Amino acid sequence: MVTMDKNIKKQLIKTIFEKVPNLVAVTGGMGISYGENKKFYQDAKDAAQYTKTVKKDDVIWVPLQIKNKVELVIGYLDNKKSGVNKKLLEGLYDEIKYKHFLNEQILKFSDPKGSFIKNLLTKTEIKNIEQAIDRGDIVGVNLRSPQAIYLIKAPGFKNKIKKNVNQKDNLDCLKKLNSECNKIKKVISSGFQKNEQNIITHLEDDLFVLLKSAGGTVNTLNSIEYFKKKAGYIKELVEKITGPGVTIGIGQYYPGIEGLRKSFADAKSALEIGIKIWGEDKIYHITDIGMFITLSEKVSQERKCELANQILGEILTKKDNLKTVNEFLKADMNLTIASKNLHLHRNTLIYRLENIKKITGLDPRKFRDAVQIKMGLMLYTPEEK
């Protein structure tokens, strides 16, 4: 069943609040109203369930059905002069849907690379890397080198544009948006003139997405420092246009088309969790976020376990390391108690903990790192106990 696009629904609800006289409430199919003070209306639910107008206590509830599905129910006070009916409401939907369609078409023609990248990362119609390379060549996007995804957040970027244009003119706003986006693309391109595989486009609101390529032979693990180092340079370039405060989330490199989408998911998690824990105006690689990834409900349990294995490394594969860190954490990070429980000299325990720090980049003696290690161990289930 086809459902209403979320952006169109959001705009339609806003328009109904603005244009429908004597409005009581706008609800979803379950009768729960939209807006700040949510309220349940049984009559609205009945109108949606039976797909018919319901009148009770001078309030008329009209179900708005799109593609054989009730998307909204509009309740308004009965007033013959109000002129509210299903045709008016459906007409509002058609008008808004057309505006969105027009904007999408303008974007496709003005930014074919951007449209291709969004489609590549957020949809699944492109099935493999060979198909992606062929389609990319048509619009001038080279996908032949190893690439990781950067998500670049420039706070207030879209609002600044809106302040300088006629907000009621969607086309004027779109033209200005494209102009400012092109400045950012140009400054990044000029910073990497020798590499055509660095491709940036505006994703939404204050977010940009960059496909950053790596030269030479790379794999998931040896590319981490390279992509983190380049992010600092990219942050400086973008801030020349947007001003200070840019935050970047970086995904791992993975091969293939699914690898790009996986890197995109990594970048989103790194950005979201990094800002939540440590704030904006920083650079976060997915491995910097570490096991704080468990705080995100958007990441699958399988992906969390995969990251635990990547980050904790030899803690999980070597029994001595696993036993050492487990006992140290059980002892509340107390060296004396842990060394006694492990039957080790205190200096031997310190040596082992230092070795774990070198292997993983996480120091069990520091609270923040110890929390991450504990989170990772909670996800990890050894095959043999």
Residue 150 maps to a domain: yes
Phi, psi of 202 (to 5 degrees): -75, 130
Q: pTM of the predicted model, to two decimals?
A: 0.61
User: Last residue of a domain, which of 299, 333, 356?
Assistant: 299
61-70, 124-133, 135-144, 370-379: which has the minimum mean pLDDT?
A: 61-70
247-256, 294-303, 340-349: which has the minimum mean pLDDT?
A: 294-303
Q: What is the CATH number of the domain that holds 74?
A: 3.30.450
| One domain for residues 246 and 336 | no
Residue-level pLDDT at 385: 37
CA dist 258 to 129, 217, 269, Å? 8, 19, 17
Compute the distance between CA of residue 176 and CA of residue 161 in angstroms, rounded to an integer.
7
| One domain for residues 58 and 175 | no
Average pLDDT of the chain, as a whole number = 81
Question: Residue 156 above 70 pLDDT?
Answer: yes
Residue 137 maps to a domain: yes
| One domain for residues 99 and 115 | no
Residue 15 maps to a domain: yes
Compute the distance between CA of residue 110 and CA of residue 206 in angstroms, rounded to an integer.
19
Residue 288 maps to a domain: yes
According to DSSP, the residues that pair with 149 across neighbouring strands are 211
Kindly write down the DSSP assignment for every residue of 271-330, as one continuous string. Answer: HHHHHHHH-SSSEEEHHHHGGGGGG-TTS-HHHHHHHHHHHHTHHHH-HHHHHHHHHHHH
131-135, 141-145, 214-218, 268-272: which has the minimum mean pLDDT?
A: 214-218
Compute the distance between CA of residue 263 and CA of residue 321 in angstroms, rounded to an integer.
30
* Structural contact between residues 207 and 152, judged by C-beta atoms closer than 8 angstroms: yes
Q: What does the pLDDT average to over 53-73?
A: 83
- The token pair at 78 is 């009965």
- In the chain, the amino acid numbered 257 is I
* Number of independent structural domains in the chain: 3
| One domain for residues 288 and 313 | no
| One domain for residues 199 and 284 | yes
| One domain for residues 97 and 42 | yes
Domain that holds residue 362: 308-379
Q: What is the CATH number of the domain that holds 356?
A: 1.10.10.2840
Residue 385 maps to a domain: no
| One domain for residues 248 and 349 | no
pLDDT digit string (tens) for 172-231? Answer: 666 777 778 788 888 887 777 655 567 888 888 888 999 988 766 666 666 788 888 889
